[in-house]
Amino acid sequence: MNIWMPLIAALLATTPTLASDSAMEVVNCWDSERGIVQPVRRKRCTGREVTSAEAVRLKTEYDRNRRRTLARGDAIRRAEAARPVRFYSAGAGFAVNASGTILTSAHVVKPCDAVELRIPNSPRRLPVRIVALDDENDLALLDTSYRTRHYLRLAPHLPPGGEPVAVIGFPQEGRIRLKPRLTPAIVNYDLSDPRKRGLVGVMGDVRRGHSGGPVLDSKGRVIGVLKAKIDSVEASRLTGKILKHLAVVTEARAVASFLERAKTRHAIDGTRGRERTEQGLYAIGTAATVRLDCLKRG
C-alpha cells in the first residue's frame, strides 16, 4: 500500500481542475462596434480583452466620438434645410483631362437648377457649370474647379460582341452610394447598331446612378458613356430574345466628336496596352469618376 501512495499523490497533483482552466475565466470583453464592455468567459470574447480601467476609457472615447458624429450630422441637415435648392437625383461623370473638365450624360444635369460635384473620399462639394450639351447623343461637358491627375482616355475602336467591360458609377442600392462601384457587363449588339445610332449595348446589373459614368474595355479605355437602361420586356419583344439587364452606351466615337466640337483637350489611347484585372480596372475607373448631384429649387 505504501508503494502506491506517492504515485497516486503525483497523479492527483497533475490532474487539471476546472478552476485552473484560463478559457473559463471571466474577463472584460470590449465590443468596439457597439461601444460596450461585457463580462464574459474568455473563450466567448469576440472583441478585445481589456482591463476595467481601459474599458472605462474606451467607452468614454466612444461616446464622445458618437456625440460629435451626431452633432455633425445635425449641422449638415440644418445647413441642407436652409439652402434654396434640394437634392433631386444623382449620376456619374468622369474626368477627360487634368483641368477639371468632366464628361457626363446630358439627362443627368439638364433638368437641374444647380449641379454639384462631390469630391471622392471627401465631404466637400463643388459647383459645376455646364459648358456644352449634345441632346442628340445625350452628352454634357462640365467645367469645374476639380483638379485631378487621374483622367480617362478613349478607346480607338469598339470591342466585339461578347467582350467583358466595366461600368463605373454610383448605383442606387436602397440609398445613393458615396463611393463609385465597378459593375461587370458584357457587350451586346442585339438591340444597338453603333454605325447607325452611335450606341453600344451592354448587359449587366445597371441601375439608376450609373448614368453618365464611363464604360471601360479590358484595357481601361473608355468605349462610351452610360446612357440608359432598356426595358427588358420591350427589348425581348423586339428581338425575340430574353435580354435582361440591357443598357445602352453612347460610344467613344460620338464622344470624341463632341469633345472636338467643344474644343476640349482629351486623349485617345491607340496603343496596344495590356489586359487589366478587375481590380486594376476598378482603380483606373474609380480614380477618375465623380458623383454629380442634381439640385432643384423648392
Asked if residues 184 and 204 have their Cβ atoms less than 8 Å apart, the reply is yes
Whether residue 160 is found in the same domain as residue 29: no
Whether residue 69 is found in the same domain as residue 99: no
Q: Given 80, 113, 128, which residue is the final one in a domain?
A: 80
- 3 in a structural domain: no
How many distinct helices (H) and strands (E) make up the chain? 7, 16
- 232 in a structural domain: yes
Q: What angle do CA 132, 133, 139 make, to 5 degrees?
A: 115
Q: Given 80, 104, 124, which residue is the final one in a domain?
A: 80
- 60 in a structural domain: yes
Whether residue 56 is found in the same domain as residue 195: no
Whether residue 219 is found in the same domain as residue 205: yes
- 174 in a structural domain: yes
pLDDT tens, residue by residue, 259-271: 999 999 999 998 8
Whether residue 108 is found in the same domain as residue 37: no
Q: What DSSP letter does each residue of 117-171 carry, written as one string?
A: EEPTTSS-EEE-EEEEEETTTTEEEEE-S---S----B-SSPPPTT-EEEEEE--
- 17 in a structural domain: no
SS3 state of residue 174: coil
Element (H, E) at 286: helix 278-288
Strand partners, 289: 94
Whether residue 104 is found in the same domain as residue 51: no
* Full residue range of the structural domain in which residue 195 is found: 86-298
pLDDT at 194: 63
pLDDT at 56: 87
pLDDT at 93: 96
pLDDT at 123: 74
Whether residue 97 is found in the same domain as residue 244: yes
Distance in angstroms (rounded) separating the CA atoms of residues 171 and 76: 23
Whether residue 298 is found in the same domain as residue 253: yes
pLDDT at 199: 85
- 8 in a structural domain: no
Closest C-alpha to 281, from 228, 225, 214: 214
What are the φ and ψ backbone dihedral angles of 133, each rounded to 5 degrees?
-130, 145
Q: Tell me the whole-structure pTM to 2 decimals.
A: 0.70
Whether residue 130 is found in the same domain as residue 196: yes
- 1 in a structural domain: no
Whether residue 63 is found in the same domain as residue 92: no
Residue reference for cell 463605373? 168
Q: How many domains does the chain have?
A: 2
Q: Given 40, 58, 80, which residue is the final one in a domain?
A: 80
pLDDT at 104: 97
Query: Any idea what the CATH number is for the domain that residue 240 is in?
Result: 2.40.10.120
Question: Would you write out the chain's pLDDT as a tens digit for each of its 298 residues?
Answer: 455 555 545 555 555 554 456 778 899 998 888 888 888 888 888 889 999 888 888 888 888 888 887 887 677 667 666 667 788 899 999 999 988 899 999 999 999 999 999 887 777 889 999 999 999 999 999 999 888 889 999 999 999 999 999 999 998 877 778 889 999 999 988 766 666 667 888 988 888 889 999 999 999 999 999 998 775 555 555 555 555 678 889 999 999 999 999 999 999 998 888 899 999 999 999 999 999 999 998 7
Whether residue 138 is found in the same domain as residue 231: yes
SS3 state of residue 215: strand
Whether residue 104 is found in the same domain as residue 215: yes
- 129 in a structural domain: yes
